[in-house]
A and B are shown apart, each in its own frame.
Chain A
Amino acid sequence: MAQEIDLEALSRGEKGAWDGFVRRYAGLVVAAVRGVSHEGTDVEDLVQDVFFRLCKDGFRLLKTYDPSRAGISTWLTIVARSTARDSLRRRQLAVTPIDAVPEAQLATDAAPPEKLKLPDGLLSPRQKLVLTMLYDRDMEVAEIAQALGVDPQTVRSTHHKAMLKLREHFAAEQ
């Protein structure tokens, strides 16, 4: 797909290349942004934020794309979702008065934090990831399998081994 887009012309800032790029990938960006937005969000503004980020500072972000390392649709989806999340966070910080937030949401353990500090050593990165997805993001086994590119049985087995380690760890502590 990347071959159909002239990346060199794009990074030079050629208007025709930019228009072609936007025409081809705007739908993908809309779909990606919808995946992270919530009700009442202006999806079109978020889409605009994504394209703005791609072309600002002389197309700095777009120039980092390397077709030999990943497909442009995959890369754009990740860029679009993370940009949309950042934009939503900034808007929320700017306009939400504390009185408008339900008390339950102000409690520290109401929702998992966006970034977790996880202990090193005991569990492998994959085991930590599986448990995080299962218990902090409430993801389905099938969805986790899709994220990791493995079959659901592998996810269950990873989960099982991780739980054995945790049980042994806490049993030894007592």
Chain B
Amino acid sequence: MAGPLDDSDEAALWRRWRTAGATGAAVPADPDPLLLAAYAEDRLSVDGAEAVEDWLAANPLAAQDIVAARRTLRIPLPVAPSHVIDRAAALVGVADGVSVLAFRRPSPSRRHWREALRIGAMAASVLVASFVGFAMGNDTFVTLAGGSAPALSLELLDPPTGLFNELDEDSST
């Protein structure tokens, strides 16, 4: 009796109605968590419960929060690992007898490391490709220029030297 109701025609009917009538419909404003908790504990009036159900219908993810909240009423409180407790307790510290909120230091997650590695690898690839391209271009240039390679290479790397040589030649003629 408690299995799924898996009638695809009925599901299609529901989706058709949902889609057809959705234009212009407003999503009810979010209730505060205390109201949802009161609903989970059956502490609301009929009207109050109906308003929450109207909101839950539009926020199906939150409906599962109600299931989870009801479940906590039936089970003993679980115990957390000590390092989790220490970390959360450290959010509030004591300075000169007055409680202060500690700054939260973001812990570097694996995802951040992967992202940094990816960007680093991309930068390295660009550098290697640039160097290889430059070396190949330079080799081709030297090959095409024949025996005057050292002078041309020097001029390529230090254009002003070549410029002054030309100026000297012009001034002497």
Contacts and interface: CB of A to CB of B under 8 A. Distances in A.
Most chain B Cβ neighbours within 10 Å, of A66, A70, A138? A70
Interface string A43-80: 01101100110011000000011100111011101110
Interface in A92-138: 95, 112, 114-120, 122, 124-126, 128-129, 131-138
Contacts of A120: 25
Interface magnitude class on chain B: 35 or more
Contacts of A139: 63-64, 67
Contacts of A18: 89, 91-92, 99
B109 A30 contact: no
A61 to B, nearest CB: 8
A116 B115 contact: no
Interface magnitude class on chain A: 35 or more
A116 B25 CA distance: 9
Most chain A Cβ neighbours within 10 Å, of B54, B59, B61? B61
Given A124-B50, A163-B10, 11 more contacts: A14-B99, A32-B72, A48-B107, A69-B34, A77-B68, A78-B66, A119-B18, A126-B50, A139-B64, A142-B2, A146-B70
Interface of B: 1-5, 10-11, 13-18, 20-23, 25-27, 32-34, 36-38, 40-43, 50-51, 53-54, 56-73, 77-81, 83-85, 87-89, 91-94, 99-101, 104, 107, 109, 111, 115
